[in-house]
Structure 1
Amino acid sequence: MAETLSRAGQHEAAIPGFPMPRAAGCPFDPPPALREQQQAGPLTKVRLWDGSTPWLVTRYAEQRALLADPRVSADITRPGYPSPSDSRTNSVGFILMDDPEHARLRRMVTAPFTIKRVEALRPSVQRIVDGLIDGMLAAPGPADLVGAFALPVPSLVICELLGVPYADHDFFQDNSRTVINRDATTEERGAALGRLTDYLDGLMSRKRKNPGEDLLSGLAGRVNQGELSQQEAARTGVLLLIAGHETTANMIALGTLALLQHPEQLTALRETDDPALVAGAVEELLRYLHITHSGRRRVALADIEVAGRTIRAGDGLVIPNDIGNRDPEAFTDPDRLDIHRDARHHVAFGFGVHQCLGQPLARMELQVVFSTLYRRIPTLRLAAGMDDIPFKHDGSVYGVYELPVTW
């Protein structure tokens, strides 16, 4: 049987599968096959679980252009959308919607994430970080940095911001892990999402009757005023709760591991009292690690000319920003971790109207953590070999399940 060519000029039989495995011994780098696709050109084809062959966008400039293009849709229900699983109903909140509905719902929760409002939270986050470090130092080592520190920091912060009882953290952390687990079945993810939605729905009912000063109470007020349904409010709460603790927790743990493997970078960060260097280190770690490693998914609404090729209306797009952040055209020597680099133009938070709403909060939390943890515990080191660290290769959010440390 003769081989045929895809629109990318690839032989159909040679189209690689996606997602792609990382190389053994290189846990901080994107998969080698992604680098090969990037070298082949900004647009190639990949094959997903269902046999579909969307475009893979691997270069920084084309990623930003397409993420900002109004002819590109984030709506998971549109034909051609390259869904990461066999369910299009287990989506969370407004991130998989298009304007105007996306903008309507997003505007309702934007205010608490403005830079001014987030900066007002910095002293509270500092107290949380110091308190957790005090607890680690008071307990016998070694410790699991994930369980003792990396996960509680953003969980406590997002619970305070949303008005979610931290006492329920085991429940929402366990179900969140299932929702973002690539190896979980559709039924498992749907059940976990249902439990979280029911939980937020019940919390929303209570806040409609007895509101506080938190974000969920603000949404409850909008429900009472008829601006959105309680189901919309609950699903928005689920999105903010999952995104508010999972991503930052993994960045704290994986960032610490990366710094421990680059001691000269860790020393420079630990010894500085320059907030600008700390902020720059956070941006570089976001660029270098990029924990959302399953690729942002989109579908073209119209024909789009990109890099001499035509993306047809209805074609799916997979945009893995981890390899975009390693594009040598955008970042000199991109595979080197350098906290002195100006990496602010990375695409770890996406680009365009769907870029991460909570990025000011994530940046501030990481700045507090990375300016405090290594100064408070200057002898922090791994209590296990790199081969014994359990990485989250099965998750849509990358990181480590555990990080044994001592001091």
Structure 2
Amino acid sequence: MGESLHTVTTLPTQRQPGCPFDPPAELTDARRHSPISSYTFPGGKPGWLVTGYDLVRSVLADSRFSSRRELMLHPTIDYGDIEVPPAPPGEFLLMDEPRHSRYRKPLMGKFTVRRMRMLTERVEQVTAEHLDAMEKAGPSVDLVTAFAKPIPAIMICELLGVPYADRGSFQNHVDSFMDGETSDEDLMAAYTATQEYLAELVAAKRANPTDDVLSDLTDSDLDDEELKGIALILLAAGLDTTTNMLALGTFALLRHPEQLAALRADPALVDGAVEELLRYLSVAKTFQRTALEDVELGGHTIKAGSPLILSFHTANRDPERFPDPDVLDIRRKATGHLAFGHGIHQCLGQQLARVEMRVAFPALFDRFPTLRLAVPADQVPLRPEIADIYGVKSLPVTWDV
């Protein structure tokens, strides 16, 4: 006999005023009622909302739940009878085995902990250059455009071999289809322009390989369409997530001065601080899966074909896994958080993101010990909840000179 069923009727899209770092209250309430709730998708399709840590983690590790794009439903928009095509070649996040491994395996050796540690010196150099520019432009800047965005952009573009001259326009295109506020027409234009650019980039790497990941992959049996898809996934994921972690993480530390003071007093805390910020903020908020067969989950039978929304930000705030989960505590052992996912689709670039954050946060606060918000906290513009990645649109900061 199944447990009593909790129901969520609409997916919450607003955070509480004055609580920019916490998940929408209705999602937290859903998790308090039950780690799994029924949810009716737009258009009337019955599905599930999974909010508890253990259940989210188990779904991510279970091959009976599919990541295939053609099986997904949008959680808040009814597209009617429009048939969703399978993911294009190379876009492995939206695939199951064995297609997923065909694209992920050639990349595994490119993003090792060792290789990412070797990049630390370059991350330090890029970070210092942008701190110099901030100091010159200051004492008041938008931290997103001056610091949080360019560091991951430069690093992922260098890894994949995007020429320096192309990075500005490329970044603008990627921004357009990640921010959640672009019109459908502009979204398609940006997506098309990005696809065309990546096709040219792949052709250039095949003709004249350079020292980068994309050039390395031209030696594999992957064709140009597959390489283009891989490049799109890596660039989009590598740019937007870390940008928002750096900006929102700075915002969170400025709003928790005792935590910032502890980090300044003991630089050895930085690794733990990064893991705690990843857990606490969970900028990649939700992911989806679809059941391929009937599966028992949390006392309920998930029928074959049922879509599921996995709520990472409530899972990472689950008190059964993390005591006092709504408290930011950089001394916490936050290992095991789901900010990078879990299972075969766990984020490939997580070590690069960690290196960037471990370097950038201490460097920023060392250079500007009086750094503070230049506007009241409730006036910092936040990304809409509908955006794939949560964060701030801008972060006006200032400091004493």
With normalisation by structure 2, the TM-score equals 0.93
The partner residue of 1:341 within 332, 337, 340 is 332
1:3 corresponds in structure 2 to: none
Partner Cα separation in structure 2 for residue 380 and residue 90 of structure 1: 47
The partner residue of 1:363 within 354, 361, 371 is 354
Deviations 1:270-323 (A, max 9, x none): 22231xx11000000000001112x11000111111121111111111001000
1:105 corresponds in structure 2 to: 103
Partner Cα separation in structure 1 for residue 31 and residue 175 of structure 2: 30
1:21 aligns with 2:14: yes
Correspondences of 1:180-259 after superposition (within 5 Å)? 180-222=178-220, 227-259=221-253
Partner Cα separation in structure 2 for residue 370 and residue 386 of structure 1: 19
Structure 2 stretches of 5 or more lacking a match?
A: none
The partner residue of 2:397 within 380, 384, 405 is 405
Correspondences of 1:287-326 after superposition (within 5 Å)? 287-293=279-285, 295-326=286-317
Partner Cα separation in structure 1 for residue 87 and residue 397 of structure 2: 36
Q: Secondary structure at the match of 1:212?
A: coil
The code of the aligned residue for 1:254 comes to L
Distance change (3 Å), C-alpha of 1:48 and 1:191? farther
| CA-CA distance at 1:82 after TM superposition | 2.6
1:128 aligns with 2:126: yes
The code of the aligned residue for 1:117 comes to R
Q: Secondary structure at the match of 1:112?
A: coil
| CA-CA distance at 1:183 after TM superposition | 4.2
Partner Cα separation in structure 1 for residue 18 and residue 87 of structure 2: 33
The partner residue of 1:142 within 135, 140, 143 is 140
Query: Does the aligned pair in 1 maintain the 2:153–2:239 contact within 8 Å?
Result: yes
2:66 corresponds in structure 1 to: 73
Distance change (3 Å), C-alpha of 1:167 and 1:279? same
The code of the aligned residue for 2:243 comes to A
| CA-CA distance at 1:103 after TM superposition | 0.7
| CA-CA distance at 1:190 after TM superposition | 3.3
RMSD: 1.9
Structure 1 stretches of 5 or more lacking a match?
A: 1-6
The code of the aligned residue for 2:278 comes to L
Partner Cα separation in structure 2 for residue 399 and residue 91 of structure 1: 26
Distance change (3 Å), C-alpha of 1:48 and 1:176? farther
| CA-CA distance at 1:8 after TM superposition | 7.1
1:282 corresponds in structure 2 to: 274
Distance change (3 Å), C-alpha of 1:236 and 1:119? same
Partner Cα separation in structure 1 for residue 257 and residue 391 of structure 2: 20
394-403 or 86-95, which deviates more: 86-95
1:4 corresponds in structure 2 to: none
The code of the aligned residue for 1:232 comes to E
| CA-CA distance at 1:186 after TM superposition | 4.6
Query: Does the aligned pair in 2 maintain the 1:57–1:320 contact within 8 Å?
Result: yes
| CA-CA distance at 1:378 after TM superposition | 0.8
1:381 aligns with 2:375: no
The code of the aligned residue for 1:32 comes to A
